[in-house]
Every structure is written in structure tokens, then in C-alpha cells.
Amino acid sequence: MSILFRPGKRLLSITRTLHIYVSMALLLLMLFFAFTGITLNHPDWFGASKALREETEQPLPDFLLPVEADSADWQEAAAHWLASEWQASRQQVEVSEDELLLVQKGPGRYRSVLLDTEAAVVVAECLDYGLMAVLNDLHKGRNSGAVWSWVIDLSAVLMLLFSLTGAFLLLPQKRRLKRSLGYMTLVSSVCIAIYWLFIPT
């Protein structure tokens, strides 16, 4: 096989430096995404599908009594209290004459807080799926917010850069390049064969 493109020493030096620093920047993130790839594929192995359920009930505070469910002012006051009591924003509270509902979702957890206007009580239910569920949800970017979404995007870009610079560094090494292309072809062919033969469609 002839090498069609032989990069210069300066370009190789820049690529090697970039490859090294990107690999170090990515080290913990790559370990995280690799490990959680396994835990996502086998959630039962790590207990990530089992939730710890906790339910609490409390009466309304005195300043919200008596309940005036049809009053817009009372509904607004109750919604603000509900949001502040459970560290949420007012926009997260759904208001109706029968109830006020606050739903909070985060990595590995789910909480619903229901203010029953007829019974004048607040019932909070929390489902905690544990640390492994937190890690799995972070891997998927589920209920983890916009900032973490950017972390995932940046990680993906750096992984692409890491892979491409590694491949680029092989170009001048004819023997290793031929062997590496063989490995790539073999593994890619096996993955395609597995898809066609074993993946249900």
C-alpha cells in the first residue's frame, strides 16, 4: 500500500501534542462514559432500576388557611409557597382549583408534590434510584440541564478530535497503518454482521 499523503514533521508534532493533551483532558470523561455504557446496558447488575420510595404528608401553613381554591390570589400564594418550600421555580407549579402539582426531575430521582385543596394537605412522593441511576442519566443527559448537555457535546467533539489525531499520526508509519486498517476493517465488518444477523428490525 502506498502512502498518498505524508505529513510534515511540524504538522505531526502539532498533531501529537494535540492528541496528548486532548487525551489527558478526556481521560476521566472517557472512563465515565465507558463505565456508564456498561451500567446502562445492564442496569439490573447494579440496582439502577430499583427505586427507594419515600412519601411524606404535611398540613398547609396557617397563612394559607382557610383554603380558597377558586381565588386567584390564594392560588398564586400557594404556588409560590410550594415552589419555595421545595426549592423550585414558580413556573414548575401547575395550578387548578382541585390541586397544585409540582414535579421535579433530576438525574436518578423523581419527586412529585401535590397540594390537595379539598383535604388541605400536601403530599410529597420521592423516588430515588441511587447513584448508578444518577450516573446513567448523566450519560444520557436526561433531566441534567443545559450546562451538562454542553459538557456532553464538548466531550463528543474532543473524542472525535482524539480519534482523528490518533489516526493522522499513523499515516507516516506504513506497517502500523496497514495493520491498523486491517483491524478497523475487521471490527467494523463484525459490527455490521452482528447488526444484520442478530439485531431485530
Question: What are the tens digits of pLDDT across the range 74-116?
Answer: 999 999 999 999 999 999 999 988 999 999 999 999 999 999 9
Going by C-alpha positions, the residue among 62, 105, 72 that lies closest to residue 86 is 105
Would you give the distance in Å from CA 30 to the centre of its chain? 14
Cα–Cα distance for residue pair 138/64, rounded to 1 Å: 38
Residue, of 176 and 71, whose pLDDT is higher: 71
Q: Would you say how long the chain is, in residues?
A: 201
Confidence band (pLDDT; 50, 70, 90) for 47? Answer: confident
Say whether pLDDT at 173 is over 90: no
126 has which bridge partners? 54, 111
Say whether pLDDT at 136 is over 90: yes
What is the grid cell recorded at 109?
A: 430521582
Confidence band (pLDDT; 50, 70, 90) for 4? Answer: low
